[in-house]
Amino acid sequence: MSGFLPIIKRELLAYFRSPVAYVFIIIFLIANAGCTFLLGNFYDSQQASLEIFFLFHPWLYLFLVPAVGMRLWAEERRSGTAELLLTFPVRLTTTVFAKFSAGWLFIGISLILTFPMIWTVHFLGSPDSGPIITGYLGSFLMAGSYLAIASLTSSMTKNQVISFILSVIICLILVLSGWGVLSETLNSVFPVWFSDMVSQFSFTSHFDAIRRGVVDIRDLVYFISIIVIVLMVNVIVLESHNAS
């Protein structure tokens, strides 16, 4: 585990030294507000809850999280610092998880900055704090899954743009597979168990329950195992990259 904290510290410093971090946070906050109040007609729903706020997160993350993750490894390889980082006496697994954790923390910070939403619903009524807490937890876990995928695609290329596009496509598939319209289409062609299976792999179907305040251990396991498995693949990709 040695090396874990220094790497997280350095990554976070790298985020906040570049203007991209501030641009990201501002866009994230504006997009959140825009989706909730304009697209989601928050006031018309007449509910003091954050359900609508969280409803759009799978779609927001689709573009924003790959933007956070695309530089994780691509930049390291492009500038040659990978050769330094990977010749320090630190296990590759530690390095991969540390870099991921830094990005995840950064997204977590952005998520915390949406706290005015909590004020708003408290001002408008007396919301149930359970779904708010689980909503944030679920959203954070889901962001982690997106980021793990972005980290993986970032390790496959020196080019950040390619990394971004790849991870958007993979995440899009994982979001769409839980989409009602797609399930119905699949149902008409394939047996029901098939479309069920497809939607089981989706971010949205697992996030929906948590968003509503229902914490099923299986949903948590889903997100955590996506993160762990994808990051392990990330380690293997980096290893095989160097080997060939």
Partner 1 sequence: MISVNSLSKKFNNLLAVDQVSFEVKQGEILGFLGPNGAGKTTTMKMLTCFIPPSSGNAEICGYSILDDPLKVRNQIGYLPESAPSYDEMLVGEFLKFVAEIRGYSGMELKRRVGIVIEKTSLNDVENQMIDTLSKGFRQRTCLAQALLHDPPVLILDEPTDGLDPNQKHEVRCLIKEMSEEHTILISTHILEEVEAVCTNTMIIAKGKVVGYGTPDELLSRSMYRNSVTVSLKDEEPRKLLNEFNQLDFVYSVEHLQEDRENVVTMRLYPNNKESISMKLEEYLFEKKAQLEHFSVDRGKLDEVFRQLTAVD
Q: Which of 22, 26, 91, 197 binds partner 1 (CB under 8 A)?
A: 91
14 binds partner 1 (CB under 8 A): yes
Question: What is the closest distance, in whole angstroms, from the C-beta atom of residue 102 to partner 1 in the complex?
Answer: 13
Which parts of 60-79 interact with partner 1 (CB under 8 A)? Answer: 79
> For residues 72 and 86, what is the distance between their CA atoms, to the nearest angstrom?
14
Distance of alpha carbon 73 from alpha carbon 97, whole angstroms: 12
174 within 8 A of 202, measured Cβ to Cβ: yes
- The region, left, alpha or beta by phi > 0 then psi within -120 to 50, assigned to residue 48 is beta
The reply on whether position 19 binds partner 1 by CB under 8 A is: no
- 2 belongs to the binding site for partner 1 (CB under 8 A): yes
Max distance between CA atoms of the chain, in angstroms, equals 60
Told to check if 6 binds partner 1 by CB under 8 A, we report yes
CA–CA gap between residue 35 and residue 4 (Å, rounded): 36
Piece in contact with partner 1 (CB under 8 A), picked from 12-20, 161-169, 189-197, 223-231: 12-20
- For partner 1, the binding residue among 10, 114, 179, 201 (CB under 8 A) is 10
- Member of 38, 46, 89, 188 binding partner 1 (CB under 8 A): 89
Buried b (16+ CB within 10 A) or exposed e, 119-143: ebbeeeeebeeebbebbbebbbbbb
Among 1, 5, 30, 221, indicate the residue that binds partner 1 (CB under 8 A). Answer: 5
Q: In terms of DSSP H, where are the helices of 18-85?
A: 19-34, 51-55, 57-69, 71-79, 81-85
Closer Cβ to partner 1, 88 or 190, answer by number: 88
Q: Answer yes or no whether residue 3 interacts with partner 1 by CB under 8 A.
A: yes
Per CB under 8 A, does 242 bind partner 1? yes
What the block records as the tokens of 141 is 């876990």
Residues that bind partner 1 (CB under 8 A): 2-3, 5-7, 9-10, 13-14, 17-18, 79-81, 83-84, 86-91, 242-244
